[in-house]
Structure formats: structure tokens, C-alpha cells
């Protein structure tokens, strides 16, 4: 079975984000880059499927040269090869990313694609849906349980109030992976050494995009305002409650 995994390299969630002076992006200098955590579930699920059904796991990522590090890590976990779509100089938004990834996926004729349910940097959760749309495949997301029998996948989604939704989908399908789906493995030392000789192909973004252009134009990034210190209202309960109501009404203007 030919299994595709969509992977994005994102800043480590502990990285302190600094906005660039022009406000159009973030400063990359001191960022520690990691595999998007939800994508790690996707890699793991793909590896588990391969261990059961055989075949090949191919990692596809659209990003600059540094994204190769994230692909290598997935190869060290056990994936077979990688494809990086070089996005240098391309205006990337969820739409163009989906077009590029779908283009690469079409060339590979995957039977199933796993992806994280969203990336933890921009939190758009658009790309896997866009890829499915461009390929004309169904998608299911977020998925917290996955099983495959023949060519039919059984998928479980959480629904509001703790209810579970069970879905059956015939392959091919794009699966958006949620936390709890599995416990991603660590890259072992032998895995790291093996990854050295695994191929990572490079594709040109312009060739996959054709005349398609980004549909979102980011005008400005800004950091959330600093949280102000809380206020403690002293005094007897009755007087304090009255004061609280007055502050909510006159100062915070929320009631």
C-alpha cells in the first residue's frame, strides 16, 4: 500500500515568538523548528498501517530548505522516503499549499493520506481539506481512532458532549489525525543512521502551482496584548459583591 503523509515544520511551541519589524511575519533567527505535533500522529499511524499492510510511507512537505530536517526526522522514525516542495519565493497560504501537496500526491498515486488535523503555528486546519478537494477524495477529521479492513477505513471522531461519531470511508481518503490516535515513536539511533541513505526528492513549487496564486494576503501580525494583573476586591461579601458588579458595569463594561 502506498501511504502518503503531509508534514509541516513549525516553531516549537515553547519558542518565544518575535514579530518581524515589517509586521508581515515572524523572526526566524532563534526559532527551534519541529515537526507539527499533530503530524507526528500522522507519521505514526502511517507507519503502523505499513507494518500491518506492507507498502511504503512517503513524507510530503511544502517548505523552505530547513523543512528537510523535519522530513529526515520522519524518515528516522521509519518512513521510506521524502518529497520536499521548495517554496522559496512563493506566497504560501493554505490554498497554494493544498494545491502543491495535492499535485505531488497525484504524481505518487497514494491510496491513503494521513495529515495532522491542523498545524500548531497558524492553526488554519485548511490544508488537508484542500488536498482532499483537489484530489476529489473524501476527508475525515479530526480522527482519534483508525482501522482499515480491505479497502474500507473505519474512523472515529469526537463530537460535542463526548459523543463519538463512527465513519466508514472507502479508500482513497485523507485522514486528519487528532491527539490520542496513537503514541508516536521516538526516532531510534539505528533509525537515524538508516535515514541518512533514504532519498528526499525536491519539487519546484512553481511547476505544481501553474497559474494558481495565494488567496489570502496577510496584512499584519501582532502579539496578543499582555495580560493585566488581576484585581482583588477586599471587604465583606455583600459590599465586595456590590463593588464587583459596579466594576463589571462601569469599568469593564461587560454587563
Where on the chain is the footprint of another protein (CB under 8 A)?
Answer: 34, 69, 72-73, 76, 186-193, 195-196
Write phi, then psi, for 2 (nearest 5 degrees): -95, 115
As measured in angstroms, the least distance from the Cβ of 68 to another protein is: 8
Residue 171 contacts residue 152 (beta carbons within 8 Å):
yes
Q: Which residues of 133-161 are buried (b: 16+ CB within 10 A; e: fewer)?
A: ebbebbbbbbbbebebeeeebebbbeeee
As measured in angstroms, the least distance from the Cβ of 189 to another protein is: 3
Judged by beta carbon, residue 61 or residue 141, the one nearer another protein is: 61
As measured in angstroms, the least distance from the Cβ of 230 to another protein is: 15
As measured in angstroms, the least distance from the Cβ of 6 to another protein is: 21
Judged by beta carbon, residue 77 or residue 208, the one nearer another protein is: 77
Q: Which residues of 2-23 are buried (b: 16+ CB within 10 A; e: fewer)?
A: bbbbbbbbbbeeeeeeeeeeee
As measured in angstroms, the least distance from the Cβ of 76 to another protein is: 5
Judged by beta carbon, residue 55 or residue 191, the one nearer another protein is: 191
Judged by beta carbon, residue 89 or residue 230, the one nearer another protein is: 230
Judged by beta carbon, residue 15 or residue 92, the one nearer another protein is: 15
- DSSP letters of 16-61? ---B-TTSSSB--TTPPEEE-HHHHHHHHHHHHHHHHH--EEEEEE
Judged by beta carbon, residue 25 or residue 180, the one nearer another protein is: 180
**Distance between CA atoms of 110 and 176, rounded to whole angstroms?**
16
As measured in angstroms, the least distance from the Cβ of 82 to another protein is: 13
Judged by beta carbon, residue 196 or residue 228, the one nearer another protein is: 196
As measured in angstroms, the least distance from the Cβ of 94 to another protein is: 27
**Distance between CA atoms of 213 and 102, rounded to whole angstroms?**
15
Q: Does residue 213 have a cis peptide bond before it, meaning omega lies within 30 degrees of 0?
A: no
Amino acid at each position: 500500500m502506498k501511504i502518503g503523509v503531509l508534514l509541516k515544520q513549525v516553531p516549537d511551541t515553547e519558542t518565544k515568538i518575535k514579530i518581524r519589524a515589517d509586521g508581515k511575519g515572524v523572526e526566524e533567527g532563534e526559532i527551534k523548528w519541529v515537526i507539527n505535533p499533530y503530524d507526528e500522529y500522522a507519521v505514526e499511524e502511517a507507519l503502523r498501517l505499513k507494518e500491518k499492510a506492507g507498502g511504503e510511507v512517503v513524507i510530503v512537505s511544502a517548505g523552505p530548505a530547513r523543512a528537510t530536517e523535519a522530513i529526515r526526522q520522519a524518515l528516522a522514525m521509519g518512513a521510506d522516503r521524502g518529497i520536499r516542495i521548495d517554496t522559496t519565493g512563493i506566497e504560501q497560504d493554505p490554498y497554494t499549499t493544498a494545491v502543491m501537496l495535492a499535485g505531488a500526491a497525484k504524481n505518487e498515486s497514494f491510496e491513503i493520506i494521513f495529515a495532522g488535523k491542523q498545524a500548531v503555528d497558524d492553526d488554519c486546519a485548511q490544508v488537508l481539506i484542500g488536498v482532499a478537494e483537489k484530489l476529489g477524495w473524501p476527508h475525515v477529521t479530526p480522527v482519534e481512532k483508525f482501522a482499515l479492513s480491505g479497502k474500507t477505513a473505519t474512523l472515529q471522531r469526537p463530537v460535542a458532549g463526548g459523543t463519538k461519531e463512527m465513519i466508514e470511508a472507502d479508500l482513497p481518503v485523507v485522514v486528519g489525525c487528532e491527539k490520542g490516535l496513537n503514541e508516536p515513536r521516538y526516532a531510534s539511533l539505528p533509525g537515524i543512521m538508516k535515514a541518512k541513505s533514504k532519498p528526499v526528492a525536491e519539487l519546484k513549487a512553481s511547476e505544481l502551482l501553474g497559474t494558481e496564486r495565494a488567496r489570502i494576503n496577510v496584512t499584519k501580525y501582532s502579539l496578543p496584548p499582555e495580560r493585566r494583573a488581576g484585581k482583588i476586591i477586599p471587604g465583606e461579601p455583600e459590599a465586595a459583591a456590590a463593588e464587583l458588579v459596579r466594576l463589571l458595569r462601569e469599568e469593564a463594561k461587560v454587563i
